[in-house]
């Protein structure tokens, strides 16, 4: 009978320390984000062709892949904007984006 009591106490303790549903969902999102990052970096590595380089090559790593993609996308976006600059919405969209990044610093002199 004592073993039954011990098992009951243990199960109560386990339930008492279970994470909340909110914590479980947060952990699930974090795990998904890490998996997405890993899958995305693997995709970038595959598309870069670095796996075909000699092993002694210094660029046969994941280093700089995200930066290369950002530069590539940046070039494509800039080309696209230049081609469509005559469209008013393209110009206004860039103005709105630029204005949202401006930070006002108020200098309040208190004497």
- Report the alpha-carbon distance of residue 65 to residue 44 in Å, rounded: 6
Residue 66 has pLDDT above 70, yes or no: yes
**Angstrom distance (rounded) from CA 78 to CA 75:** 5
Model's pTM, two decimal places? 0.53
Is 10 among the domain residues?
no
Q: Is residue 4 part of a domain?
A: no
Query: Cα–Cα distance between 40 and 66 in angstroms, integer?
Result: 9
Section 11-23 average pLDDT: 69
pLDDT at site 30: 94
Asked whether residue 24 is domain-assigned, the answer is yes
Residues of the domain holding 85: 64-100
Average pLDDT over residues 72-87: 83
Question: Could you give the number of structural domains in the chain?
Answer: 2
Whole-angstrom CA distances from 15 to 4, 11, 19, 28 are 17, 6, 9, 20
Structure tokens at 78: 């800039």
């Amino acid at each position: 009978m004592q073993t039954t009591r011990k098992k009951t106490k243990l199960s109560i303790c386990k339930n008492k320390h279970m994470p909340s549903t909110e914590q479980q969902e947060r952990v699930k999102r974090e795990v998904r984000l890490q998996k997405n990052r890993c899958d995305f970096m693997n995709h970038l590595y595959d598309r870069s062709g670095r796996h075909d380089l000699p092993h002694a090559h210094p660029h046969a790593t994941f280093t700089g892949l995200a930066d290369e993609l950002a530069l590539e996308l940046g070039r494509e976006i800039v080309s696209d904007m230049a081609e469509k600059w005559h469209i008013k919405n393209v110009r206004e969209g860039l103005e709105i984006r630029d204005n949202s990044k401006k930070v006002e610093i108020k200098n309040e002199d208190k004497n």
